[in-house]
Amino acid sequence: MSTQGTHHEDRAMDADFSTHLKAAMRRMPSAVSIITTRHPGTAQPMGLVASAVIPVTMEPPSMLVSINRSSSAHATIVTAGGFCVNLLSVDQHPLVKLFSSGELRDRRFADDIWEERCDLPGLRDATASIACKVRHSTSFGTHDLFIGEVTGIMLNDDTEPLAWVEGGLARIVAFEPGS
């Protein structure tokens, strides 16, 4: 279905607005991340898959994550005041299903693939793990936006980053312009 040239100035009158916005957003490639945290009282790790993750500034070094308030990890991020962005590698694609399904919640941290990153669960072979302390949050619609100041970084140069594009998992392939 081509919607070339379609404008949606009055979205309340346009039943296709939401469908078209979702189609447009599916075309925006993004990294696949598992956002983790740990409850300060019980020490229970929590996590969820996220694609709405962006760097904010280098001064201070900070990251933003957008978390649905209905997510099981949301309250723990609020209580703990911290989160870890674990950027997945292509080889870690099975974790997407594990962290997307509520029925599999009890198996998420069962394997020996996790280690501490600034008192947060970090994925050992992630492309990168970025630990953050929440410095600001704001609500918008169904989500809370958490801005975290970076407190720790782990990089793994021997991995291939995993991405979302067109509603599915993808590889990111670099190319030389003009070739």
- Annotated domain spans of the chain: 30-171
The pLDDT assigned to 172 comes to 85
pLDDT in tens, 151-161: 999 999 999 99
Residue 104 corresponds to which tokens in the numbers above? 């599999």
| Nearest alpha-carbon partner for 64 in 105, 30, 22, 107 | 30
Residue 159 tokens read as 């991995």
Domain 30-171: assigned CATH number: 2.30.110.10
Q: Angle at Cα 144 formed by Cα 79 and Cα 107, nearest 5°?
A: 60
Residue 7 pLDDT greater than 60, yes or no: no
Residue 30 has pLDDT above 50, yes or no: yes
Distance CA 73, CA 46 (A): 5
pLDDT band at 6 (very low <50, low <70, confident <90, very high): low
Range of lowest pLDDT (30-34, 70-74, 77-81, 172-176): 172-176
For residue 2, what pLDDT is reported?
Answer: 47
Give the pair of three-digit tokens for residue 97: 């299903």
